[in-house]
Chains A and B, each alone.
Chain A
Amino acid sequence: MTDGYPDYMQESIKKVKETREERMGKTYDRMTPSEGQEVLNNFHPDYKKEGKEELKIGPSKGRKVPTELAKLLRARSLIDPSEIDLTQVDHDVDVLIIGGGGAGTVAALWSVYEGIDPENILISTKLRHGDSNSMMAQGGIQAADKDDDSPIKHYLDAIGGGHFTNVPELVKALTIDGPKVLKWHEELGIMYDREEDGNFVELPGGGTSRYRLHSSGDYTGMELMRVLRDEADNLDIPVLEFTPAVELLKDDKGQVAGALLMNLETNEYYVVRAKSTVMATGGFGRLHVQAFPTTNHYGATGDGLIMGYRAGVPIRDLDSVQYHPTGAAFPDQIVGLLVTEKVRSLGAQPVNMDGELFVNPLEPRDIEAAAIIRECRGRENGVTTPTGMQGVWLDSPLIEMKSGEGTIEDTLPAMVRQYERFGIDITKEPILVYPTLHYQNGGLIINEDGSTPVKGLFAGGEVEGGVHGKNRLMGNSLLDYNVFGRRAGMTAAKHAKKASIGKLTLDHVNDYNQQIEDAGIKTDKKSPLLLPEYRGKKVLERHLDVEVTL
């Protein structure tokens, strides 16, 4: 099962090989706006009628969100406020950061640069520091630094890619801060791919009008994240690992005043009082919207949305979810994992079972994904795997025909390694792909300085919305977490210098539970979810809910 493609798939691969020579160097016209709209309407999961639910309570009542998220938003809190003693404060800090991924770590660093003593910062995170979506990004980060490019062009690409639903002020911040962020990265010693003269090697991405994608092989996210974490370690910023936030705390003036954390290994709770709180919990891929597999890390369960919403922050654009056009569809062990867009940036084409090109390789993500679904479900030109998955080929060997032998090994080592483990050589054979749940386009509402509408709460990264509207372009979310992580961190630091906190309460949680009751919602769920459930069915059916005490 793990020894490469089975024979019957080899037959389709033969056709891909046969058409390769002829396809090489050919492009496929980009869709016109109306063609794009049509394929979205008919095939993109977001455009389906089912699968969404209108929110009945909370600050964004009336908005639609995916059912999987709605269930958590109308669930009861994981904790019972009456069991919590808020008079015993375990950590009293200036800035509490929830989420030790990219956005959280950037926010912590910029709080320090803004004058907060590291001792007065605390990062709470669910897994280890750095275990996050940020660690997994492969393709790269956008920033307009080339001569033929400009922040204005970047602005236009981002807002057009988002179908003009983005918040203009946020896109402005994203694109104008881009070069500054990269400059900071240079100073920290992040190793980007460079030309001999020190300028960056840059590639195009879906929906970009210029070559603007900076990368570090296909370990871009990892290189950024491990350097940021290293720097946070250098500055001795305290981090509580395996200790996620389970609910925000407020004070009697109604501002956010810290959070309640839970040690996942001992189940002990900790009360953190903070003058400023930064929400940086990332996305929700692990909710498996519409039963899609996902590229996201284990802790991407949308906790920040739940906690923030209960505390009164409205949400936006969560009705649209980003499906990455190319998730692994074979072998079974890695289904859903990302096949980075960079594979297409470098010249690989998506082709059907007969080896025919059916879409421009670099359409915006939603259109590209919808076109692949159409090829499989609508036109039945996909390849079926032994476990019943559908997929189309991503013809990776083209890359080497175009740029020479060794290019794949040099530029996509992570991809090569991932497939090699299962007996597939992507320099010689194509990759079978199908869209996978990738990114939470929307999120908590923020202002351009990273503040939310609720006093004392700030947010940056995938948890917030508005930056990308209803569709994010590749390379703009690594930038997002840097730009808005930074802005949220700086604003939080400034706020902390003048804020004063009153008496801590969890009343908003009680209120929210009451709203559930009042709206007549029946639920046996609790949220935030913290970790997804993957245990075997049989085991769960026989699971005894007893506490063993000695």
Chain B
Amino acid sequence: MSEDEENREMIEIFVMGKRYKVPKGLTIMTALEYAGYKYVRGCGCRGGFCGACATIYRTEDEYKFKMDLACQTAVQDGMFLVQLPFVPAVREDFDIEEVDPKENDNVMLDYYSEIARCVSCNTCTKACPQDIEAMDYVQAALRGDVERCADLSFDCIQCGLCSIRCPADIKHYHLAQLARRITGRYIHEHSDELEKRVQEIKNGEYDDKMKEMVEMEMEELKKLYEERDIREEG
């Protein structure tokens, strides 16, 4: 990493109010590191998948808060920022065997009754760095449409910005996790092909052939590999 100040255009950012000069073109995360912070919290995957680096900021010309991921957002001149490495949002335990929506038409409300407090202010959606329609999935949960809640929330990285901004104290991302698991378990059809294969394996149908493969001479194995037929298209 070349960090030659003289050759790079520098900008000013304010980390929790403290001014630092950092090169233009870094992400918020790499800018903080450039400034001398060593992350313990607030940094996980560095690739936009884990939600550890939720960041709240304002820029000089905007009266509104903005929210984004430190690892995926370029620093801007005059940015005031703070990271939010943890959101205290209580998650409800459940038993996956006991949440069949066919048995209970509003299972979501049973676990997260506070969704009934949603005032449709849409602050959660505005806070989401993934541009998920968070309010809409809460609304879907409210009317018992578990699958829609699951689909709309699918790209959630569980950073918690929605929940920290919510005036109704909803725990969006926990709610959505429950909806997705119910959907995967009870609403989506399961695979017949898989079921069949699992039975074949249980019945030992591959045991002999597998033994043969494991014990096969290297040359023969190589030959088999080179001659294997490859499904190329469609």
Contacts and interface: CB of A to CB of B under 8 A. Distances in A.
Contacts of B27: 333
Interface string A215-249: 01101011100110011011010000010000000
A74 B83 CA distance: 37
A210 B231 contact: yes
Nearest to B147: A191
A417 B131 contact: yes
A80 interface: no
Interface string B204-234: 0010011001110010011011101111100
A6 to B, nearest CB: 13
A226 B177 contact: yes
A188 B185 contact: yes
Interface of B is mostly: loop
Contacts of A210: 231
A120 interface: no
Contacts of B34: 535-536, 539
B15 interface: no
- Count class of interface residues, chain A: 35 or more
Given A179-B201, A233-B91, A234-B93, A298 B36 contact: no
A222 B224 CA distance: 36
Given A168-B214, A417-B131, A180 B198 contact: yes
B188 interface: yes
- Interface size bracket, B side: 35 or more
A234 B226 CA distance: 47
A2 to B, nearest CB: 5
A194 B26 CA distance: 39
A186 B194 contact: yes
A534 B33 contact: yes
A176 B193 contact: no
A436 to B, nearest CB: 11
B32 to A, nearest CB: 9
B180 interface: yes
B181 A152 contact: no
A242 B201 contact: no
B163 to A, nearest CB: 15
B50 A297 contact: yes
Given A152-B209, A534-B30, A182 B194 contact: yes
A151 B206 contact: yes
A135 B44 contact: yes
Contact of B48 (A155, A172, A190, A414): A414
A447 to B, nearest CB: 14
B96 A187 contact: yes
Interface in A134-149: 135-136, 144-148
Interface string A286-328: 0000000001011100000000000000000000000000000
A204 interface: yes
B41 interface: yes
B158 A191 contact: no
Contacts of A413: 155
A520 interface: no
Interface of B: 1, 3, 5, 24-27, 30, 33-41, 43-50, 52, 72-74, 91, 93-96, 130-131, 150, 154-155, 157-158, 177, 180-186, 188-195, 197-198, 201, 206, 209-210, 213-215, 218, 221-222, 224-226, 228-232
14 contacts: A155-B210, A160-B228, A179-B201, A183-B194, A183-B195, A189-B96, A190-B184, A199-B192, A297-B44, A337-B46, A337-B47, A337-B48, A418-B72, A543-B36
Q: What are the nearest 8 A-B pairs in CB distance?
A: A198-B189, A189-B185, A189-B181, A131-B44, A539-B36, A189-B184, A160-B225, A191-B184
